[in-house]
Amino acid sequence: MENSHIVDPYSSHLPLLRVLLAAYQPKQIVEFGPGNFSTELFLNSGAKVMSIEMQEPAWYQAIKNKHAAQLKKNQLDLHLSLGADAFLALEYPDHIDLAFIDGHADSRPETANLMFEKKAGIVIVHDFEYKGYGWERMNVNANLYDTVSWKQRDPANDKDGYFHYVETVAFISKIPVL
């Protein structure tokens, strides 16, 4: 198969997610930006998932249709929260084992900061290589969180002889909370 080695950049975070799900077995996950890959992976792990779509009503509906059974069983708590800061008005679980940040481009650092404030056990941010998301606004207490980075090459975006990588970073609490 031609180009079979090329990985879909929308799934570049999966290897890190799989390792962390297996190692920590989170029971409660908050996901900013439901996806074809991540939402299903989280649900298949048996965790209860709160997922927030922040940009596209049509995508929210597609996820709602795809995971109707999990919604009915209350395994998935799906929200449409449009806009960069609308997520602040939502009510979050008291205990969050894992948070996955892959939502609205204008507020990714702020959603991560909220999860740090809520003492999520693991906070994972996707597309960390893209500086346009404003990651410098993220406030991580290095005394409380260790960092693990996963980079996957994205050959479709290689330019001028330089490799392009998609980076996913996990901040793992040094204090056991899972």
Dihedral of CA 113/54/149/36: which sign? positive
User: 5 or 178: which carries more pLDDT confidence?
Assistant: 178
* pLDDT digits 0-9 by tens, 105-129: 889 999 999 999 999 999 999 999 8
Predicted structure pTM score: 0.90
Strand duo 122-126 + 98-101: pairing: parallel
Q: Nearest 5°: CA angle at 120, between 116 and 10?
A: 90
Domain of 97?
9-173
Sequence letter at residue 13: H
pLDDT at 165 over 70: yes
> What is the band of 164 on the pLDDT scale with cuts at 50, 70, 90?
confident
Residues sharing a CB contact under 8 Å with residue 112, sequence separation 6 or more, in sequence order:
99, 101, 123, 125, 138, 140, 171
Give domain status of residue 3, yes or no: no
The CATH number linked to 135 is 3.40.50.150
Give domain status of residue 178, yes or no: no
Give domain status of residue 88, yes or no: yes
Give domain status of residue 31, yes or no: yes
* pLDDT digits 0-9 by tens, 125-157: 999 988 899 999 999 998 899 999 888 877 777
pLDDT at 4 over 60: no
- Taking the C-alpha atoms of residue 117 and residue 161, their distance in angstroms, rounded to an integer, is 41
User: 164 or 32: which carries more pLDDT confidence?
Assistant: 32
Work out the percent of the chain whose per-residue pLDDT is above 90: 69
Give domain status of residue 4, yes or no: no
Domain count, the chain: 1
> What is the band of 3 on the pLDDT scale with cuts at 50, 70, 90?
very low
- Taking the C-alpha atoms of residue 163 and residue 145, their distance in angstroms, rounded to an integer, is 29
Residues sharing a CB contact under 8 Å with residue 30, sequence separation 6 or more, in sequence order:
49, 50, 51, 52, 92, 93, 96, 98, 99, 100, 115, 120
CB 99 within 8 A of CB 47: no
> What is the band of 7 on the pLDDT scale with cuts at 50, 70, 90?
low
